Structure 1
């Protein structure tokens, strides 16, 4: 039997916590840092993906 993980995840939970703390004025950091879990995780996945894509295009002589 397969287990389906459809939860919010660590990054989503951390982002929601930071947004709530910001809206309640319990933290004073800028919105860029409140939303940083989203963009940092996107960069962690996106940068290697782009590197692999560009590397394979160069290797195959497409660029």
Structure 2
């Protein structure tokens, strides 16, 4: 797998993240086939890159309560 250049991407904080800086997960919507995910407290750190289908399944499971956040 080739590496992605994430230096110019736009990140958004998860709606499940709290407002005082804890439990912050950010995702990037700039790619069609994959979703980069990172810890907003360490923006220069690594990003986990997951397939868009897998990410969609995870979000659906969290929303439905099948998988609790």
TM-score (norm 1): 0.25
TM-score (norm 2): 0.24
Q: Which has the higher strand share?
A: 2
Q: Quick check: which has more Rg, 1 or 2?
A: 1
Q: Which has the higher helix share?
A: 1
